[in-house]
Structure 1
């Protein structure tokens, strides 16, 4: 009887495991080679369809120039297709990265790095914030907006003119108030 903590012993011998592993690796290499050959065959077939063999014998100068123009046009179309494919791949990669980040955020498995305590003096802080011009901008009061005393006096006068709102309501109530509104 085995204990609960013990794992059951494997019934396959080590030599049998090794032979199975060798057979699996041999099968995998065969499949990789077959896949590689199939890809190469598909490539040759595709190039045969898209790029027929050139017939240059017996062509005069005008025909050669026309052939060159056709080849340049086909090169341009192929370059456009390649550019479009690359743009799609870049966009898809960007989307995949964004989705991976969203998955990580939703999973909550992202660990925040531990922050270290750093002692920084006021001068070093100013130098880091403002760069080399920290001495010039040290006087922060100079950058504040100045308020003139005349502006403050005008605001107080406006507040005094309004006065008590109850007096204005009583003065404008009734027919006398309406008459005053029309006279003014």
Structure 2
């Protein structure tokens, strides 16, 4: 194929189907080879027992099979214990790696949220709670002083102070 020409879609489809057929045949051949290897392995290690004989011979064969099963169970148990121990070591090593690396805290972002929004986020949308803090405050009325009106009369100013002094003394 030259660089200037492109492959047509029908040609590309044909090549893909050929590749898939070859891959499928390879997979079938591999499964057949594995099955044959399994058969030969089992034939070598586990020959079919000779069941032609008297009762004593059959009991002896059963005892041999039972002993072989016990040995296989012991080996399986030992292998499971070894795997469990190795898994525990792996978990411990992972924990040590985390300890050495340390936990990095993410940078917190400042969030501006009203008290109502915060309560709604905490309690959920079912609960309707309003948090108007100003409504709970005590109302205080401010006194309006007339200082600017008569700032020049010092006698009146002294009399106001004397009245305040009397208020404190009587209470």
Give the TM-score of the pair, scaled to structure 2: 0.45
Q: Which has the higher contact order (CA 8 A, sep 6+)?
A: 2
Give the TM-score of the pair, scaled to structure 1: 0.42
Structure (1/2) with the larger helix percentage: 1
